[in-house]
Structure 1
Amino acid sequence: MQELPPYAVVGLVVLTGVALFLAGTQGTRLLRPTAPTPGKLTTYECGVDPVGDGWAQSNIRYYLYAYLYVVFAVDAMYLLPWATVLTLPGFGWRTLVEMGVFLAVLAVGLAHAWRRGLLRWV
């Protein structure tokens, strides 16, 4: 039997995955019970009947909270692994300077949030 080229194997795996996905989706569509009623077709919003249209403006404060989360989460995500490999050979002053630049950028973001009063508990 002749071996398939590597891309042919990848293509077969992708086609098999798509075929399994479509078979599962169509199988559940055929086997599930359907009884649409007006109550089932309405939007479920935590037990409250929907009123008006779906468009609502959100406060910019939520975006600022997301920005603060990124400042703190990204800081922890990059600092902890970096601190564990700092003593290995090849990680010298260059990586220390790079991490200093990274922390400086995060410090600017934190200073901006502090200046805007986002760190106060409201």
Structure 2
Amino acid sequence: MTSMILLAITFLCISFIMMTLANILSKKSFIDREKSSPFECGFDPKNSARLMFSLRFFLIAVIFLIFDVEIALLLPLIMTYNSSNIFIWLITSLLFILILLIGLYHEWNQGALEWAN
């Protein structure tokens, strides 16, 4: 028991020393104005280099990913149809589809599926 505690303390000390060394060695020694600017061609930028990102597009992408993963979770239900109890399979699949439909209704009700306002 004491050897495990000693080993854990040793690992913690080694990891702390490595993180401290990495933090000290990774600092830049000087800051150059041209190197820290977004364009390195010698011209000063007229406006910000950052472009506005559409939050609506991000929301649609997240909703797509969520429903895509849920569809991937529905595929094994089809494969287990023959090897499981029909009543339990039906309850499980209907409950899962009901949760999907409630989520879709909530997103629709919140207006997240409307692209143009």
Shift of 1:18: 2.7
Q: Superposed, which structure 2 residues align to 1:1-122 within 5 Å?
A: 2-5=2-5, 9=8, 12-29=10-27, 34-41=29-36, 43-44=37-38, 49-51=44-46, 58=52, 62-84=54-76, 87=80, 89=84, 92-108=89-105, 109=107, 112-113=111-112, 116=114, 118=115
RMSD of aligned Cα (Å) = 4.2
Task: Summarize the Cα distance change of 1:36–1:5 in structure 2 as closer, same or farther, 3 Å threshold.
Answer: closer
- What TM-score do the two structures reach when normalised by structure 2? 0.57
- Percent identity of the aligned residues? 9
Per-residue Cα deviation, 1:36-77 (whole angstroms, up to 9, x for no partner)? 433234x315867344689x9x57xx2221111111111111
Structure 2 residues without counterparts, runs of 5 or longer:
none
Shift of 1:83: 2.0
Q: How many residues are paired up?
A: 108
Q: Distance in 2 between matches of 1:15 and 1:70?
A: 40
CA contact (8 A) 2:60 2:112 kept: yes
CA contact (8 A) 1:68 1:110 kept: no
Structure 1 residues without counterparts, runs of 5 or longer:
none
